[in-house]
Structure 1
Amino acid sequence: MHPILENIKHSMKAYQMTYPEDVCLVLGDQEGTLIGYLPGKQIDIKVKVGDKIIENTVTMRSLREGKPLREENGSSIFGFPYISLAQPIFDGSEVIGVLSALVSHERVATLREGATDLAAAVQQMSAMTEVMTEASSDVMHRLLELSEQTESIKGDIAAIMDILGFVKDVSRQSNILGINASIEAARAGQHGLGFSVVAKEIRKMADTSNESAAKIDAQLDIISKAIDRMTLSTNQIAAFTEQHNASMEELSTTYSKLERTADDLLVASSIT
């Protein structure tokens, strides 16, 4: 056995202790024969010294190609994932053997799986946040339209109030004219009877117009106050919606950071 390989064989236990994960070590010579084997606590490929290294394995390919190789393996063999790492051993420029390590990849695989799940969850939450933001923006747009319509209605009410003021003024003037006509009819005596009837009708019409105007004025006042309350509620909802949109933007920023973190975890858990 080559002295370098002899030294490595005697140091395999120390090498194994340097790995934080469970590891199985395999040492092969230039001919592809196992000259050293140290199983891990769980990883045991069930070989013995003197066996031939199986073709097309990472160990044999590293020996043949004269370069370090690594390969990730699933959990079908040992029930958990592991990584195979093979390092050719040189004496000068000549390959004299190969040292391989089969390292448990379970914790890294769990990390990768968690990162993948996190990325998927973040993408889903980001999509939901986007939908909610669009809905909030639509609500905000509709509230603005409602506010504009409310202001228009308030303007119409103000115009109607002006007209009612004119009607009340005409009613008062008509009532005064009716009173004056009644006085003149009384002075005219028998000759003013017809004029008296007309004067009464004028006063009656004036009173009716005034009462109707007062009722309309009262109803418009009720409507105006209701619109004021509606405007207040609309403004409160608009303020809440604006705050909600700001919160959605903060969430979107947080989700973007989480997504980048998940991507970083995926990259960190890759062996290539």
Structure 2
Amino acid sequence: MNKLEQLAGLLDIIQLAFPEDVRLTVFNKEKVIAELPGGTLDWPTKIGEPMATFKGTVTSKALEEQQVFREERGPERFGVAYISTAVPVFEEGELLGVLTALVSTHRLEMLRNGTSKISNALETMAISTQEISQTSTDLATQIQIIQGQSEEIIKDVERSYAILNSVQEIAENSKLLGLNAAIEAARLGEQGRGFEVIASEIRKMADYCKQFAQDVQFQMDKIQKNVSMMHHSIEHVAAFSEEHTAGLQKINTVCEGIHVTSEELLASAKV
């Protein structure tokens, strides 16, 4: 019994070695000498069917060129997608025939389709992440601008306090001037009555300016408090925005890595 005949007797064992559905056929140089259909790869092939029937297939190519041939076929002809591999069988340097295995690519197609969907989803996710990241970057820029503006407002408030202090000093000096004028008017008696009226008005104006300055300072205190709170809030938002942007960049990097892996899986799934 030659090697080709031995292979023909071991087809059931060889079939069990494949994790996928597989159809096995053994050819000598002229015809089919043995076959074992698969579960879905079950179209009939007659024992003794001549090699001419298989012209143009990997089987005839393997027989003619005496080397292994492999090709992938879609479901157009038999309703099942498969990979066909033809291996020439030699014994002591002489070509005896060919062993052809047709392996279902059902699971492979599922892997390809799943990987392709993941790859497409990751591309979409990466684009969305980049857009969100860009928006976060723009937001961070705007926050920095607002932060700078709030710092300027704080400085303006501090400058306003300096002006208020000057107004209060003027009010105090005016009141003191009015008091001195009233003393001088009293010293002059009848002749100083005009000065007394002026002195009284100066004191009133000084009191009014002082009260006005106090009211303005009260409002400025409130403004300073609110601006300070806003400034701290902006600092917190800016810090969060930076963390958010950094997190998005990490996600984008992970997505790119998974996308590359998906492309590698797709490439490795090709025959």
CA deviations on 1:153-199 (whole Å, 9 max, x unpaired) are: 11111111101101101101101111121122122121112111211
Q: Is the 8 A contact 2:25 2:100 kept in 1?
A: yes
Residue in 2 that maps onto 1:44? 42
Structure-2 separation of matches of 1:182 and 1:78: 121
* 2:44 aligned with 1:26: no
Residue in 2 that maps onto 1:106? 106
Structure-2 separation of matches of 1:265 and 1:160: 68
Aligned length: 269
Structure-2 separation of matches of 1:4 and 1:188: 146
Residue 253 of structure 1 and its aligned partner are, at CA, apart by: 2.6
TM-score normalised over the length of structure 1: 0.92
Secondary structure of residue in 2 paired with 1:50: coil
Q: Is the 8 A contact 2:68 2:88 kept in 1?
A: yes
Give unpaired runs (5+ residues) of structure 1.
none
What is the percentage of aligned positions where both structures have the same residue? 36
The one-letter amino acid paired with 1:263 is E
RMSD, aligned CA:
1.7
* 2:1 aligned with 1:13: no
The one-letter amino acid paired with 1:34 is V
The one-letter amino acid paired with 1:45 is W
Q: Is the 8 A contact 2:29 2:63 kept in 1?
A: yes
Structure-1 separation of matches of 2:222 and 2:79: 77
Q: Is the 8 A contact 2:40 2:80 kept in 1?
A: no
Residue in 2 that maps onto 1:151? 151
The one-letter amino acid paired with 1:20 is P
Could you list the structure 1 runs, at least 4 aligned residues long, displaced by more than 6 angstroms after superposition.
none
Structure-1 separation of matches of 2:5 and 2:258: 50
Structure-2 separation of matches of 1:253 and 1:18: 40
Structure-1 separation of matches of 2:223 and 2:80: 74
Residue in 2 that maps onto 1:118? 118
Secondary structure of residue in 2 paired with 1:89: strand
Structure-2 separation of matches of 1:9 and 1:236: 77
Please give the residue correspondences for 1:70-81 in structure 2 after superposition, counting only pairs within 5 Å: 70-81=70-81
CA deviations on 1:21-45 (whole Å, 9 max, x unpaired) are: 11111112213x2121211122123
Please give the residue correspondences for 1:222-233 in structure 2 after superposition, counting only pairs within 5 Å: 222-233=222-233
CA deviations on 1:35-87 (whole Å, 9 max, x unpaired) are: 21211122123211121232211212221222111111223344442110111
Q: Is the 8 A contact 2:11 2:36 kept in 1?
A: yes
Residue in 1 that maps onto 2:198? 198
The one-letter amino acid paired with 1:241 is S
TM-score normalised over the length of structure 2: 0.93
Please give the residue correspondences for 1:58-207 in structure 2 after superposition, counting only pairs within 5 Å: 58-207=58-207
Secondary structure of residue in 2 paired with 1:182: helix
Give unpaired runs (5+ residues) of structure 2.
none
Structure-2 separation of matches of 1:80 and 1:212: 93
Structure-1 separation of matches of 2:189 and 2:80: 123
Structure-2 separation of matches of 1:19 and 1:147: 67
Q: Is the 8 A contact 2:112 2:269 kept in 1?
A: yes
CA deviations on 1:195-243 (whole Å, 9 max, x unpaired) are: 1121122112212211221121112111111101101110111121122
